[in-house]
Structure 1
Amino acid sequence: MTRIPLPALILGFAGVIPFAWGAACILYPELNEWSLMTLGSRMSAPYIQLSYGLIVLCFISGILWGFSATVEDDTLRAYGLGLSCLPTIWAFFMVGDGTMNSAINLIVGFVALLALDVYYNYLGMNPKWWLQLRIMLTILVVICLGITAFA
């Protein structure tokens, strides 16, 4: 098992904080009320998870684009570039039509993104440590979004 670089590990887990904050605000309405009054609506549930989730999904999609762009084989590169666009297209069309639907569609997007990570790993297109990090982060993000979708 390849060791995940410490900066990637720290920043990856820091990136889960807005998802966890949104889940906590769903589970504890008084926290959400405090968040609304103190931090504003953008930092309260469900807005923080849905807007941030949309950004992160597109960000990771862009990382896959970057992995694909470095591939020497023209056919594999074109295939990888095309696949890397799918999560962003999914998010554009499927997120924004209500809290529960948006959260569920983000969950589907993150799980599909993880499937692409597995495929890119199989093709050798990403760093050896990438998949290990993405599995951990995806599990946490899906749990947090699941709280928003189903609580």
Structure 2
Amino acid sequence: MFTSRVPTSALVLGLAGILPFAWGVVTMWVPQAASLTMQWVGPRFIGPYVGLSYGTVILAFMSGVLWGFSTRAEEGVATSGYALSVLPALWAFFMVGGGPVSAAMALMAGFVGLLALDWMFWNQGLAPEWWMKLRILLTTGVILCLLPIVL
């Protein structure tokens, strides 16, 4: 099923994309890291704030990726692909807010929903053969980084 290898550049850049989420967790658990970050770049880049704002951006970004996959489809499939591709961005826009716990829960649900859309596009042959291997890894990392906000 997931036999093809993820290209090194996609894997490295994808894993690097988890760093802002992970940094949010670090600054939640290590007061010195939070203090230094606060001094250097300000409060938007510590604790839950960095993970929540970055997660919102990434869901919107992934809508664009799915839109791009839709351009590879035949017209009827492409139309439904375009319509479905905007769902992660709309989810982030309408559902993320109301405090850190509810925002983190909405983002986690959004990333799980995105994974379902990833599978759909991959299953239709619109995403690269290695896509799901990468997306499962990255989605797991994102959810694990957002989970401490909820707990």
TM-score of the two chains, using structure 1 as the length reference: 0.94
What corresponds to 2:58 in structure 1? 56
Q: CA deviation at 1:27?
A: 2.2
What corresponds to 2:42 in structure 1? 40
> What letter is aligned with 1:11?
L
Structure 1 runs of 4+ with >6 Å offset: none
What corresponds to 2:115 in structure 1? 114
Tell me the SS of whatever aligns to 1:70: coil
Q: After superposition, what is the alpha-carbon deviation per residue over 1:98-139, rounded to whole angstroms, capped at 9, x for unaligned? A: 111111100000010001111111111100011110100000
**What's the RMSD between the two structures over aligned residues?**
1.1
What corresponds to 1:142 in structure 2? 143
Distance across 1 between alignment mates of 2:64 and 2:97? 20
Distance across 2 between alignment mates of 1:57 and 1:27? 25
Answer yes or no: is 1:28 the counterpart of 2:39: no
What corresponds to 1:123 in structure 2? 124
1:79-90 correspondence to structure 2 within 5 Å: 79-90=80-91
Asked whether the equivalents of residues 22 and 148 of structure 1 are also in contact (C-alpha less than 8 Å), the reply is no
> What letter is aligned with 1:15?
G
What corresponds to 2:76 in structure 1? 75
Distance across 2 between alignment mates of 1:122 and 1:130? 10
Range with bigger deviation, 114-123 or 20-29: 20-29
Distance across 1 between alignment mates of 2:136 and 2:117? 12
Unaligned residue ranges in structure 1 (runs of 5+): none
Among the aligned pairs, what percent are the same residue? 44
Distance across 1 between alignment mates of 2:140 and 2:44? 24
What corresponds to 1:91 in structure 2? 92
Distance across 1 between alignment mates of 2:67 and 2:149? 29
Q: CA deviation at 1:30?
A: 3.5
Tell me the SS of whatever aligns to 2:86: helix
Distance across 2 between alignment mates of 1:78 and 1:29? 49
Distance across 2 between alignment mates of 1:135 and 1:84? 18
- Matched residue count: 149
> What letter is aligned with 2:54?
Y
Unaligned residue ranges in structure 2 (runs of 5+): none
Distance across 2 between alignment mates of 1:32 and 1:103? 19
Distance across 2 between alignment mates of 1:16 and 1:7? 15
